[in-house]
Copies of this chain bind each other. A is one copy, B any other.
Amino acid sequence: MRLSRGFWQTYKEVPADAEIPSHRLMIRAGLVHKSGAGLYNYLPMGYRTIRKIEQIVREEMDRADAHELLMTVVTPGELWQESGRWASMGGEMLKFKDKAERDLCISPTNEESVTDIFRKTVKSYKELPLTLYQINTKFRDEIRPRFGLMRGREFTMKDAYSFHMDKKCLDEVYQQLYRAYERIFQRMGLNFSVVEADAGAMGTSDSQTHEFQVLAQTGEDELIYCETTNYAANIEKAVTYRADQVGSELSSEMEEVKTPAMQTIDDVCQFLKCPTNESLKSLVYKSVTGDKEDFHLVLLIGDDQLNELKLKNYLACDHLLAATDNEISQLGLVKGFVGPARLESKINILFDQAVNTERAYVVGGNKVDVHLKNFSPKRDMEQFTPVDLRLARANDLGPDKKSHVVIKRGIEVGHIFQLGDKYTKALDVKILDQNGKTKAPLMGCYGIGITRVAAAAIEQNHDEKGIIWPMALAPYHIHLIHIGKSSENRERVEKFYETLCEQGHEVIFDDRNAGPGFKFKDAELLGLPIQVVLGDRDFDKDQMLEIRIRRTGEVLKVSSEELVVKVKEVLDGLS
Which residues on A are within 8 Å of B, measured CB to CB? 5-7, 9, 33, 35-37, 39-44, 46-47, 50, 65, 67-76, 78-79, 91, 94, 96, 98-100, 102, 104, 106, 113, 116-117, 120-121, 130, 132, 137, 139, 141, 143, 153-154
Contact = CB atoms under 8 A, between A and B. Distances in A.
B96 A96 contact: yes
Contacts of A72: 35-36, 39-41, 154
6 contacts: A7-B67, A36-B104, A37-B100, A41-B117, A74-B106, A98-B153
Contacts of A91: 99
A140 to B, nearest CB: 10
Given A98-B94, A121-B7, A36 B70 contact: no
Say how many copies of this protein the assembly contains.
2
A154 B116 CA distance: 18
A432 to B, nearest CB: 16
A120 B11 CA distance: 11
A72 B430 CA distance: 38
Given A96-B96, A98-B94, A130-B7, A73 B154 contact: yes
Contacts of A43: 69, 117
A130 B71 CA distance: 33
A130 B4 CA distance: 11
Most buried by B among A43, A46, A153: A43
Most buried by B among A68, A74, A100: A74
A116 B35 contact: yes
B44 A67 contact: yes
Nearest to A110: B41
B47 A68 contact: yes
Given A44-B67, A96-B96, A121-B7, A39 B74 contact: yes
Nearest to A78: B36
Contacts of A153: 74, 98
Nearest to A116: B35
Nearest to A126: B4
Contacts of A44: 67-69, 132
A75 B94 CA distance: 13
Contacts of A37: 76, 100, 102
Nearest to A71: B41
Between A5, A47, A72, the greatest number of chain B beta carbons within 10 A of the residue's beta carbon is seen for: A72
A167 B139 CA distance: 40
A96 to B, nearest CB: 4
Nearest to A98: B141
Q: Please report whether the interface of chain A is mostly helix, strand, loop or mixed according to DSSP.
A: mixed
A99 B143 contact: yes
A116 B37 CA distance: 15
A120 B9 CA distance: 11
Contacts of A143: 99-100
Contact of A35 (B41, B68, B76, B100): B76
Contacts of A94: 74, 96, 98, 104
Contacts of A36: 72, 75-76, 78, 102, 104
Contact of A73 (B6, B70, B98, B137): B137
A2 to B, nearest CB: 11
A33 B68 contact: no
A71 to B, nearest CB: 5
A11 to B, nearest CB: 9
Given A7-B130, A74-B154, 10 more contacts: A7-B67, A35-B76, A35-B113, A35-B116, A37-B76, A39-B76, A40-B72, A42-B71, A47-B69, A99-B143
Contacts of A76: 35-37, 39
A70 B98 contact: no
A451 to B, nearest CB: 10
A70 B47 contact: yes
A41 B69 contact: yes
Given A7-B130, A65-B5, A68-B44, A99 B141 contact: yes
A73 B157 CA distance: 14
A567 to B, nearest CB: 24
A414 B200 CA distance: 49
Contacts of A102: 36-37
A31 to B, nearest CB: 10
B6 A67 contact: yes
Contact of A120 (B33, B69, B100, B104): B33
A106 B139 CA distance: 11
A5 B99 CA distance: 41
A9 B123 CA distance: 11
Interface centre among A41, A43, A141 (most CB of B within 10 A): A41
Contact of A69 (B42, B71, B106, B113): B42
Contacts of A39: 72, 74-76
A41 B113 contact: yes
A117 B33 contact: yes
Contacts of A46: 69
A70 B44 CA distance: 8
A104 B44 CA distance: 24
B70 A139 contact: no
A121 B11 CA distance: 9
Contacts of A6: 67
